[in-house]
A and B are shown apart, each in its own frame.
Chain A
Amino acid sequence: MDRLFARQIAKATKSSGDVDLGALGKQVIAAYEEAKRDRQRTDRSIALMIEELDQLNRKLERQVEERTAELREREAELRAQNLRFDAAINNMSQGLLMFDAEGRLAIYNNRYFEVYGMPRDKVRIGMTVEELIRCRIESGTFVGDPVEYSARINALMAKGEAYNRLHELPDGRTVAVSSRPMPGGGWVVTHEDTTERRAAEKKIAHMAHHDALTDLPNRALLRERLAEALNHVSGGVQLAVFYLDLDNFKGINDTLGHQLGDELLKCVGDRLRARVPANATVARVGGDEFAIILPELGAINDAAILANQVCEAIRPPCDLCGHAVITDTSIGIAIAPDDGSDPDELMKKADMALYRAKAAGRGTFRFFEPEMDASIKARRAIEGALRAALARGEFLLHYQPILNPRENRITCCEALIRWQHPQRGLVGPAEFVSVAEEIGLIIPLGEWVLRQACADAARWPNDTKVAVNLSAIQVMNANLVPVVISALSAGRLELEITESVMMQNTEATLATLHRLRELGVRISMDDFGTGFSSLGYLRRFPFEKLKIDRSFIRDLVSDKNSLAIVRAVTTMAKSLGMITTVEGVETAEQLAQVSQLGCTEVQGFFIGRPQRLEDISRLLQDYAPRKAKTA
């Protein structure tokens, strides 16, 4: 019997044992209703659940469709991205490998095989570093232990440390290899053939430290080497610095051209290199200047010996494209530690010594001496003061009269420069003209003299000329002719030049002098008889006047030779159509004598000392009456 029905009967059973059918019926009906309700509930739940699940299913299907479409789109995107990635890695200039977190090859590019010249069929995805290195060994591009190498790489990558190294390949090339860990494990390696780049870098580094023409170390490298060598100077060990230049390089350059000038510098460079000991450094420090560092110098004399050898080595003619070119070198030498331990100081002192060597006659050498420093300093002071003096107008002109004794008339006055020094008073040209020439100040100073002299002379009686001395540098200056043109009516100007001008025997100098002559300027040769006094000059240069040097006049009365020379010169000048001026006439006797010899003009203290403009102007006035009186 059903358990529930049994309980229903039990519940409906009265204490008498009879079953209350009414009560039982109620219970049974209620149970049926409960069961019906439960069934309905169940049916409904199942129907709803099916409906809900169906909805859910459809929703999921929709989602799956959407996701699938999305995935397809992403897949296409990924494919495109992969193609781009492929193109990128296969077009990079570096070989590329990528290893996964397990240390197995995941990606490689074509360039990798090109870098190592490896057949690509040997390499496959999933290889370990060690297996790959074995392929490299087979292709002859790796030397070393593959086990040790791969263990090192794996350890470094596991630690997350980047690793860069240069591989020298057996064929001489260099490959820069860089391994970098990636976030999330694995690493990427690039292989770059840096052979050319390294060669270029080396070349650039070399160029930065070497002179392109001679391939000698340049000033920068010289300074580095000198600083380095100075570190080893101590105890008895000394060091010498030679500073050299070629004695007539400028002339060679001007006459033979820059190309041969360069060839000469190369030749000199080679000779210096061949001459010095192996531990010495030869450098070209500029123009025709060279330097030598002579380290580990035992005795000063060794430096002197080498300096002599260097001079001797330079002296033989260099054969430059068929020209046998001869040059000399002058050398200045400074010694560390005696002359200093600072590279710049030593170079400066060697340069000072060079200056002195050149002054001493070239083709020789000088050691630095402390007094050189002082004299150069003094010279520097004069240079500065001269420039300031020109700017401040401290120069002035004195004039010395030149007399025509036959006419007893002042025909010309020679302009002589003076410096009205604010402390020292009046300073003569001997003290500053050579300095002005060396520092180039002679050009503006000479121009000033020319203009001032012409301006002063403009106020003198009509035919009185003014004589101005020209230095060789002025004659070579292209600006001379225009300055003369603008200065004065040319017929009243005399320009006095010395032999030094004639020694610049160039076409340009000659042309300048002829041009001046054409302008009506009288050119006179100063100090005739003191130098070579080559008669060739007289033929080639357009002189109208010779000034016979005072040294002949001094002994004129007592020395027959002097007398003979003056007579001969005067006669020769006359026959060449030149006039003569005798300088240094200090007595009436001398005046009478030179007048008798036929000299055209006389100059000297007896006629008049160099004097201020006001005084000379007065003298010119005075001579006019004198002329009337003697006439």
Chain B
Amino acid sequence: MRVGQLSWREGVGWRADRADADKADLVLYFGTRAALGCGARYRELKAMFPGAHIFGCSTGGQIRNNDVTDDEVVAVALSFARTRLKLACAPAADATVSRAAGEAIGRALDADDLAGVFVLSDGLNVNGSALVAGIAATVRDGVSITGGLAGDGAQFAETLVGGDGAPCKHNVAAVGFYGTAVRIGHGSAGGWDEFGPRRKITRSQGNVLYELDGEPALDLYKRYLGEEADGLPGTALLFPLRIRDPQRPEESDLVRTVLAVDHEARSMTFAGDMPQGWVSQLMRGNFDRLAAGAADAARQAAGAMRDGEPGVAILVSCIGRRLLMGQHALDEVTAAGGEFAPQLPRLGFYSYGEISPHNRSGICQLHNQTMTVTAIAEAAE
């Protein structure tokens, strides 16, 4: 396996940060909606790597090695020796077809030797939980599903996904890795601290939350945000919600983040399901512990890597973490990178949702407010 690393900057264009990238099977790229929306980046990459799948999405900030940037497009070009790839796309007009889109992709990719799926999805019009459940239900057991929901900075207006085409909204794309040579490691962790009383989800529907302990959920958030409530829905990410099923708190423990708010209905739309009857608790971040969480996720993923072997680490971190941490976001990226060999290329993005197997249950699902790391390598011949 060979890995090249590239970046693009307005007025500068593409620059190879790392050689070994002349020929590739898969190019992953992440950039702002503004940089990707025109389709030019796709076309440029396609021209550079005509034999490769060109696969990427819009973000809430890009990660390149130990740096977090807003003005670059970051990319890796991967060339495999003994690993077959397949790319599949599915439209996702709205949240109600999320599971169907997941099932379509799962069916397109499933095969006896399918080793892993990396998926990128529209970040605003998709119920990520349903999407992942759809994929997981149609591929064989044990296949890891990782990836994330595309972002749109703190705007929450439009997210783009492109798989062998110009990135567009209402799109889901995934690449499947086949064979026994490919090694895919994954890790996911939050590092958030819960605080305040536990509240019961007393009214919800799918991923729309109406009431906690009988009180409109939006009122609670507004009270906690104070003047920052003007920045909703983005500022709601400062206070993620930890939710769990009181019947099986260990395996069901999840963190949810807000995608949209409805001031009239006083409801909030989250990136995944908010089951009625579950218990929730507000969370807040401490920079150091968030960074330690990122390192924890990277450590889990790094377990699949062998020293000196070529590979790549894809970091998908939640936009909420970045909004909170500001310039300290670099701390978590650095902490995660510290878990890998210094020369291992790392790229990634700030997302509206992370996809990875659950730490304890192993079930692939949507996470929020986490750092999720996918490490891909190919065993040497």
Contact = CB atoms under 8 A, between A and B. Distances in A.
B324 interface: yes
B327 A53 contact: no
A49 interface: yes
Contacts of B282: 45
A45 B328 contact: no
A4 B327 contact: yes
Contacts of A41: 228, 238, 284
Contacts of A42: 284
A8 interface: yes
B1 to A, nearest CB: 31
A38 B327 contact: no
A52 B238 CA distance: 19
B365 to A, nearest CB: 28
Given A41-B228, A49-B196, A52-B196, A30 B326 contact: yes
A45 B331 CA distance: 23
B65 to A, nearest CB: 13
Given A42-B284, A44-B224, A48-B224, A8 B196 contact: no
B284 A52 contact: no
B308 interface: no
A4 B224 CA distance: 28
A31 interface: yes
A7 interface: yes
Contacts of B224: 44-45, 48
B197 A31 contact: no
Interface in A23-61: 27, 30-31, 34, 37-38, 40-42, 44-45, 48-49, 52-53, 56
Contacts of B326: 30-31, 34, 38
Nearest to A33: B326
A53 B199 CA distance: 12
B223 interface: yes
B293 to A, nearest CB: 17
A3 interface: yes
Interface string B305-327: 00000000000000000001011
Contacts of A34: 326-328
Interface string A1-16: 0011001100000000
Interface string B267-305: 000000000000000101000000000000000000000
Contacts of B330: 4, 7
B327 A45 contact: no
B156 to A, nearest CB: 19
A48 B196 contact: yes
Given A41-B228, A42-B284, A45-B224, A30 B196 contact: no
A559 to B, nearest CB: 134
Contacts of B11: none
B331 A3 contact: yes
Interface residues of B, number: 17
A56 B198 CA distance: 11
B284 A45 contact: yes
Interface string B183-202: 00000000000011100000
Contacts of B196: 45, 48-49, 52-53
Contacts of A30: 326-327
A49 B196 CA distance: 5
A24 to B, nearest CB: 12
Contact of B327 (A31, A40, A44): A31
Interface residues of A, number: 20
B342 interface: no
A31 B325 CA distance: 10
Contacts of B327: 4, 7-8, 27, 30-31, 34
B244 to A, nearest CB: 19
A7 B334 CA distance: 11
A9 to B, nearest CB: 13
A44 B195 CA distance: 13
Contacts of A48: 196, 223-224
B190 to A, nearest CB: 17
A56 B197 contact: yes
Contacts, number: 42
Given A30-B326, A34-B326, A49 B195 contact: yes
Interface string A192-232: 00000000000000000000000000000000000000000
Contact of A38 (B239, B324, B331): B324
Contact of B226 (A44, A49, A52): A44
Interface in B134-155: none
Interface string B216-232: 00000001101010000
Nearest to B331: A3
Contacts of B226: 40, 44
A301 B328 CA distance: 133
A52 B197 contact: yes
A34 to B, nearest CB: 4
B132 to A, nearest CB: 31
A4 B284 contact: no
Nearest to B326: A34
Contacts of B195: 45, 49
Contacts of A31: 326-327
Contacts of A56: 197
A240 B331 CA distance: 123
Contacts of A40: 226
A456 to B, nearest CB: 115
A38 B195 CA distance: 15
B197 A4 contact: no
Interface in B223-274: 223-224, 226, 228, 238-239
Contacts of A27: 327
Residue among B196, B224, B282 with max Cβ neighbours from chain A (10 Å): B196
B103 to A, nearest CB: 41
Nearest to B328: A4
Contacts of B239: 45
A87 B226 CA distance: 66
Interface in B167-222: 195-197
A6 to B, nearest CB: 10
A30 to B, nearest CB: 7
Contact of A53 (B197, B284, B328, B331): B197
Interface string B343-366: 000000000000000000000000
Nearest to B334: A3
B333 to A, nearest CB: 11
A41 B223 CA distance: 11
A8 B330 CA distance: 11
B329 to A, nearest CB: 10
Nearest to A57: B197
Interface in A337-354: none
A52 B330 CA distance: 34
Contacts of B223: 48
Interface in B21-77: none
Nearest to A35: B326
Interface string A457-482: 00000000000000000000000000
A334 B149 CA distance: 114
A11 B196 CA distance: 38
Nearest to B199: A52
A556 B224 CA distance: 156
A90 to B, nearest CB: 48
Nearest to A50: B196
A48 B195 CA distance: 11
Contacts of A38: 324, 326
A4 B330 CA distance: 8
10 contacts: A4-B330, A30-B326, A34-B327, A38-B326, A41-B228, A41-B238, A45-B195, A45-B224, A45-B239, A49-B195
Interface of A: 3-4, 7-8, 27, 30-31, 34, 37-38, 40-42, 44-45, 48-49, 52-53, 56
Given A7-B330, A30-B326, A40-B226, 5 more contacts: A4-B327, A27-B327, A42-B284, A48-B224, A49-B196
Q: Which 9 A/B pairs are nearest by Cβ-Cβ distance?
A: A34-B326, A49-B196, A31-B327, A56-B197, A44-B226, A49-B195, A52-B197, A52-B196, A7-B330
